[in-house]
Structure 1
Amino acid sequence: MAKHRFFKLHRLALVLGTALALGACAVGPDYHRPAPPATQSYMQEGAPSAMASTPGASGPAQHFNTDMDIPGQWWTLFQSPSLNGLIDDALKQNPDAAAAQQALRQAVETVRAQRGQYFPQISASIDPTRQKTGQVLASGISSNDTIYNLTTVQLSISYMPDLWGANRRQVESLVAQADAQRFQLEATYLTLTSNLVNAAVQEASLRAQIAATQDMIDSQSKILDATQKQSGVGDVSDAGVAAQEAILEQTRASLPALRKQLAQQRDLLAVLAGRTPDQDIGAHFTLDSLQLPQDLPLTLPARLVEQRPDVRMADAQLHAACAQVGVAFAARLPNINITANWGSATDQMHTLFGAGTGFWNIGAAVTAPLFDGGTLKHKQRAAEAAYKQAAEQYRSTVLAALQNVADTLHALQADADAMAASARAERAAARSFDIARKQYAVGDISMVALLNAQVTSRQAQLNLIQARAARYADTVALFQALGGGWWNRHDVAVAP
């Protein structure tokens, strides 16, 4: 019979709570996502549709395609199996990525914990005591003993109906925060993969610069040998030999800095892949091992706000701030707390659930703030100000995203022009240096003229290498600026 009463009481609390929750309203503003940018272009003169470049040493032309979607693994467009494998390892082992995953898991569990407030809170307790009562007082048990045992078993139910939607707004806010954390995770992935590709490009550039510098050292050493021989027969002065030695040593002096940068890039690649710097990553990168993507996506601004993780994160934070206004508003309104208790108390354990030992109660309390010195009012105003602040931060994030894409487009256009110009300059300088060597061999020009042609050729080689690397790096920047294609991956995290 006692158990039957308990289940009736429990069922009554659940039915009452559900009815009150379904009939309640949620105070505060309902969230609506800001409208996407109305602009159709990133630059005043309009986004370019293609970037021409001279074929041959300057590389292929790149073309923008507004209908092209970004693949989830956009780095595969560089067609480097070594790079693909390194990024796959990094996504599994990088500690920043792992930390972002755990942060998302924490946010999801926080949402689930808050959703538990929709339901009655039920707890059980057992309280065995031994106590003494004064003789002049009536004992609470039938034996009237002054020293006795008392065991109380009690089941308590507490439920606060979500009359004004405070809990729903709190859950809504936490879900939005979990969404923000999900996009933070995607931003972490995008930053990690972009940094890895850029580090690979930088390594490839440094290897090419070291090779070009070493070739120049070999060439200059041969010229020095010839100059010393000519000096021995009186055809070249000591000043000419000293000048050639100075040029050679200056070139040699540039190698340690390049090798230092290469070693640091190798350390960076190892750490990004979740390894210690002393561990060899295996992969080695050259400019020829990386293929420049010829077709590039160009997302319209209205779609950009859907794709950029930072914009989506700002949107989720704005949503969370909006819901907090409702939480603060609901705190100023009356609330109901329903409680129920059922249990048994006896002085003998074997009669704990016997006849006459049971007790129960059910009640409801209505509470309403009457005077708090303006605390709740100002908390609501603070929440409203935070909402407006988040709206301005969202707007700032969108503007920064548009600028980021525009800057990248300008850079890519300039890269194509610089690449073509550097290729022409390198070919002209190489031809000039070849002619100068032949002229010097027959005595038509001075040593100074030869050295000038040599320095010009070396600098043109390095400029071409750097221009080529810049084109790769800015192509990476475009994929990053457009969001990186996370929406096309199969392992995208989903917030509750």
Structure 2
Amino acid sequence: MRRPSPSYRAVVFSTLLALGLSACSFEPKLRVPSSPGDHTSYTASGNPQKTVGAQGLAGSAQKFAYGKDLDEEWWKLFHSPQINRLVQTGLKNSPSVAQAQAQLRQAQAEERVNASIFYPQVSGSLESTRAKASAAAFGGGKGGFHYSLVTGSLNVSYYPDIFGVNRLVYKNSEALVDYQRWELEAARLTLTGNIVTTAIDAAATRAQIAATQEIVLREEKLLRLTQLQYQAGAIGYNTVVTQASQLASEQAKLPPLQQQLTVYDHELATLLGQFPGAASIPELQLKQIVLPEKIPVSLPSTLLKQRPDIQAALAQMKAANATIGEAKAQFFPTVQLSAAIGSTAAHPGLFFNPVSSIWSLVGTLSQPIFEGGKLRAQESEAKAAYEVTYQEYRSTVLGAFGQVANALRALQRDAEALRAQQAALDAARKSLQLSEVSYRSGAIDYLTLLNSEVQYSAAKIAVVQAESQRYQDTAALLVALGGGWWNHPGKDGPKLADAHDAHAASSSSQ
């Protein structure tokens, strides 16, 4: 019986070694920060349950439904067709969303590239040679002889998954795909938040312009009144000049407001992926927006799953954890198995003749011996990189909870501020009306009337700003909660997971 050749035994040994160690993995258990429980309060003094109510636009009392999820796209809670159209246009045309989509496709392609390492790599080659050999090399005379050579082969190479390195590389790319999915979701959430808040800013500015124009009309009326009184000899000319100055002061407020409105419209056009000169921006009014009266607020533990930025940070941790395993595996041998079969012949007619067949079977075992501390430094680098993602995850979680807490308290204070501003406006309106009557009858001087005018003007603008702030902070809370994308019908979003789910999965795979 013929004994196996040494090279054959080496290949067999390498194969058995690869199979025996393929279940090993140097990936450490995923270390994650502690998570809040369901009964954790967002704010230090307990979560607010509802806000106070006020009169007029945006005066409804708001209630917070804790433990309830947003069950639709969050901007629809404002019941504004104009906002809905703006958001849909932005999601369709925005370059930031298109960029995030392209980055996701890039990551998915990279994942498929890394998945190919699990399979044998097969290639074929065909070479035809026509050459002249020197006769002198064989002791012949002048000249030489010509010959042809046709060679074809099929080559197979395979890298067994020693120490789970291949799995770690693929796991890294999987995590990066998840990261880009969450980054896409974050881009959508950021875009919709910016569109809604900018549209509300524009509507509030229009309301301030309308209020200022109303005040200007009132001041013009008072100016005509003072001019008539001056002509009748009832007052001095100084009063006319003072009223004209007050009118000019109010008129001077309009150009900056109109400029600010232009800026908001241009910002909206950019968010919609359109040129400012060609965009069609609807003239949204505050009265066309409905303030949500019942706001679902996710539990703290659920917030970790629903915030795209938190999920993206978790995916980065997974990728960095797999990289640590890759760095550790570099200290150990790698095995490559390769085989080739083919044929070589001096004439094409002999190419398929059995005597022309060639083959090879090669097993390669490579072990690092000395690399000047490079491998140890790479492992330290991977561990430090994981620590970076760990702290980034912590910062992202803390920032998210801070945003929710701030928005909850802001809505509570906004309602109180609006109630107070409405009361101040009512008082200022009554005071101005009484002052105008008294001024006409000569019961008060002009300075008293002017003071009432200034108070009314300031109170009118303050109410508009307070109404706008309630809309703004409501939108900020809905965005801070993650936006409700996960419950939108037909939405093919990324898989929800939290850090403890990832920790358990990592532990079970060791």
What range describes the TM-score normalised by the shorter chain of this pair? over 0.9
Which residue of the partner structure matches residue 103 of structure 1? 103
**What letter is aligned with 2:54?**
T
Which residue of the partner structure matches residue 381 of structure 1? 380
C-alpha separation in 1, matches of 2:294 and 2:389:
37
**What letter is aligned with 1:335?**
T
**What letter is aligned with 1:255?**
L
Question: Deviations for 1:255-310, whole angstroms, at most 9, x for unmatched residues?
Answer: 01111111111111111111110123252211100000000122222111111111
TM-fit CA distance, 1:134: 2.3
Which residue of the partner structure matches residue 183 of structure 2? 184
* Greater Cα shift, 144-153 or 437-446: 144-153
Question: Deviations for 1:70-108, whole angstroms, at most 9, x for unmatched residues?
Answer: 134110110011211121111111110011011111111
**What letter is aligned with 2:105?**
R
CA, structure 1 residues 112+18, in 2 after alignment: closer, same or farther (shift >3 Å)? farther
- Preserved contact between residue 147 and residue 346 of structure 2 (Cα < 8 Å): yes
Specify the SS of the correspondent of 1:356. Answer: helix
Which residue of the partner structure matches residue 435 of structure 1? 434
Specify the SS of the correspondent of 2:40. Answer: coil
- Preserved contact between residue 58 and residue 290 of structure 2 (Cα < 8 Å): no
- Preserved contact between residue 62 and residue 294 of structure 2 (Cα < 8 Å): yes
TM-fit CA distance, 1:57: 5.1
- Preserved contact between residue 181 and residue 313 of structure 1 (Cα < 8 Å): yes
Which residue of the partner structure matches residue 127 of structure 2? 127
C-alpha separation in 1, matches of 2:230 and 2:44:
62
Could you tell me the TM-score, scaled by structure 1's length?
0.92
CA, structure 1 residues 248+341, in 2 after alignment: closer, same or farther (shift >3 Å)? same
Which residue of the partner structure matches residue 197 of structure 2? 198
**Following superposition of structure 1 onto structure 2, how do residues 243-258 of structure 1 map, counting pairs within 5 Å?**
243-258=242-257
**Following superposition of structure 1 onto structure 2, how do residues 241-320 of structure 1 map, counting pairs within 5 Å?**
241-320=240-319
CA, structure 1 residues 115+22, in 2 after alignment: closer, same or farther (shift >3 Å)? farther
Specify the SS of the correspondent of 1:124. Answer: strand
Structure 2 residues without counterparts, runs of 5 or longer: 1-10, 496-510
**What letter is aligned with 2:347?**
Q
- Preserved contact between residue 17 and residue 159 of structure 1 (Cα < 8 Å): no
Which residue of the partner structure matches residue 90 of structure 2? 90
Which residue of the partner structure matches residue 147 of structure 2? 148
- Preserved contact between residue 337 and residue 366 of structure 1 (Cα < 8 Å): yes
Which residue of the partner structure matches residue 229 of structure 2? 230
CA, structure 1 residues 56+17, in 2 after alignment: closer, same or farther (shift >3 Å)? farther
Specify the SS of the correspondent of 2:282. Answer: coil
**What letter is aligned with 1:424?**
A
**What letter is aligned with 2:209?**
I
Number of aligned residue pairs: 479
CA, structure 1 residues 189+58, in 2 after alignment: closer, same or farther (shift >3 Å)? closer
Which residue of the partner structure matches residue 475 of structure 2? 476
- Preserved contact between residue 199 and residue 268 of structure 2 (Cα < 8 Å): yes
C-alpha separation in 2, matches of 1:208 and 1:220:
18
CA, structure 1 residues 436+117, in 2 after alignment: closer, same or farther (shift >3 Å)? same
Specify the SS of the correspondent of 2:162. Answer: coil
Could you tell me the TM-score, scaled by structure 2's length?
0.90
Specify the SS of the correspondent of 2:355. Answer: coil
C-alpha separation in 1, matches of 2:273 and 2:331:
50
**What letter is aligned with 1:111?**
E
* Greater Cα shift, 275-284 or 103-112: 275-284
TM-fit CA distance, 1:21: 8.8
RMSD between superposed Cα atoms in Å: 2.2
Which residue of the partner structure matches residue 49 of structure 1? 49
TM-fit CA distance, 1:33: 5.1
Which residue of the partner structure matches residue 466 of structure 1? 465
Question: Deviations for 1:195-249, whole angstroms, at most 9, x for unmatched residues?
Answer: 1111111111011111111111111111111111111121121110110010101
Identity, in percent, stands at: 37
* Greater Cα shift, 50-59 or 432-441: 50-59
